[in-house]
């Protein structure tokens, strides 16, 4: 079994983004003195998990030398007022911004996400970016799915003609990773089976046991057990669950699954840092788009 070290790969990608930004700034693209990318992170209320994720995002911005600002709103803000703030951010100097999820229960995230300018949507959640991604067009891509693809690419794990089982159908992870791996890209061209917690357990097991790559994103500690995978499978664990003991674990029974898997992501240190790398790569894309820098 080999660990897929998301923490190390993310650091390498951030270093590369920093160097690429330095390069364009030194080159004075189109004769301009470019300023470094800058992003905003909108937080509503105080959610312990979000506070921790955002600390990771800030650390990544620091590594890539991306300017960043946290904009906080009270838990009680109305949908109307939050949308007004987003309209302001759309017109601001920020190259990109995110609204950290989850939002308080009284705010439906859909109209909030829809209001974010697609050009500044560094989470890749806006329907325009999601649609472009699904059509295989250049777009800012949902950051976790993008990060997973980068991790597979880094370790030279082929996806072409591979059978991938994705467990979980969320808009931010399961759905986009299923679409991206089914697309006709270099990283893609897989045969994808999309399941979730409503898939009958026997059917889920039958499918997962045939899979070359299993991606699990259901938010339930111990959901994926060793009897559900085949020997040598690649296991990507997207879950982050805090046990009563305070320990952070993913969605798979790591101790047993890791004995059987060919590759596996640890939790923490696997997909989490790669999600942040995806966000930083999208930030770089948004900045390049704003300054008419072609790839």
Where do contacts with ligand GUN occur on this chain (CB under 6 A)? 53, 98-101, 123, 143-144, 172, 275
Which is nearer to ligand GUN, 123 or 207 (by Cβ)? 123
**209 given a catalytic annotation:** no
5, 95, 121, 123: the catalytic one is 123
Cβ nearer to ligand GUN, comparing 37 with 96? 96
Asked if residue 230 lies in contact with residue 211, where contact means CB atoms within 8 angstroms, the answer is yes
Q: Which residues pair with 39 in a beta bridge?
A: 68, 96
Sheet strands side by side (includes 38-44): 67-73, 38-44, 96-99
- Residue 100 is a catalytic residue: yes
Residue 240 CB, shortest distance to ligand GUN, in Å, is 9
Bond before 169 cis per omega within 30 degrees: no
CB 252 → ligand GUN: shortest distance, Å? 19
Q: Is 74 a catalytic residue?
A: no
Per-residue DSSP letter, 269 = S
Q: How far is the CB of 283 from ligand GUN (least distance, A)?
A: 13
Q: Under a CB-based contact definition with an 8 Å cutoff, are residues 230 and 209 in contact?
A: yes
- Of 113 and 234, which has the nearer Cβ to ligand GUN? 113
Nearer to ligand GUN by C-beta: 17 or 99? 99
Give me the catalytic one of 57, 175, 260, 288.
57
Of 5, 18, 100, 175, which is the active-site residue? 100
Taking the C-alpha atoms of residue 116 and residue 110, their distance in angstroms, rounded to an integer, is 10
The distance of closest approach from Cβ of residue 100 to ligand GUN in the complex, given in angstroms and rounded to an integer, is: 5
Look at residue 229 and give its three-state secondary structure: coil
Phi-psi region of 91 (alpha: psi -120 to 50; beta: other; left: phi over 0): alpha
* Catalytic residue list: 57, 100, 123
């Amino acid at each position: 079994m080999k660990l897929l070290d998301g923490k190390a790969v993310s650091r390498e990608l951030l270093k590369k983004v920093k160097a690429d930004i330095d390069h364009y700034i030194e080159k004075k693209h189109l004769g301009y003195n470019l300023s470094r990318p800058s992003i905003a992170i909108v937080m509503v209320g105080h959610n312990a998990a979000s506070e921790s994720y955002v600390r990771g995002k800030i650390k990544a911005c620091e590594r890539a030398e991306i300017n960043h600002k946290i904009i906080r709103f009270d838990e009680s803000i109305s949908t109307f007022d939050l949308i007004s703030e987003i309209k302001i951010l759309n017109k601001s100097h920020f190259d990109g911004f995110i609204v950290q999820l989850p939002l308080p229960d009284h705010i439906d995230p859909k109209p909030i996400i829809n209001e974010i300018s697609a050009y500044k949507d560094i989470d890749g959640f806006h329907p325009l970016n999601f649609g472009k991604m699904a059509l295989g067009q250049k777009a800012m891509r949902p950051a976790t799915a993008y990060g997973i693809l980068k991790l597979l690419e880094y370790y030279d794990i082929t996806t072409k003609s591979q059978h991938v089982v994705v467990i979980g159908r969320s808009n931010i992870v399961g759905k986009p990773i299923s679409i991206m791996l089914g697309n006709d890209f270099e990283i893609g061209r897989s045969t994808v089976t999309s399941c979730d917690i409503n898939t009958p357990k026997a059917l889920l097991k039958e499918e997962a046991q045939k899979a070359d790559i299993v991606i699990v994103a259901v938010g339930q500690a111990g959901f994926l057990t060793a009897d559900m995978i085949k020997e040598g499978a690649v296991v990507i664990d997207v879950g982050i669950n805090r046990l009563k003991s305070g320990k952070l674990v993913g969605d798979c029974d790591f101790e047993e699954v890791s004995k059987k898997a060919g590759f596996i992501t640890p939790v923490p240190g696997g997909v989490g840092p790669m999600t942040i790398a995806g966000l930083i790569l999208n930030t770089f894309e948004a900045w390049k788009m704003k300054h008419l820098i072609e790839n």
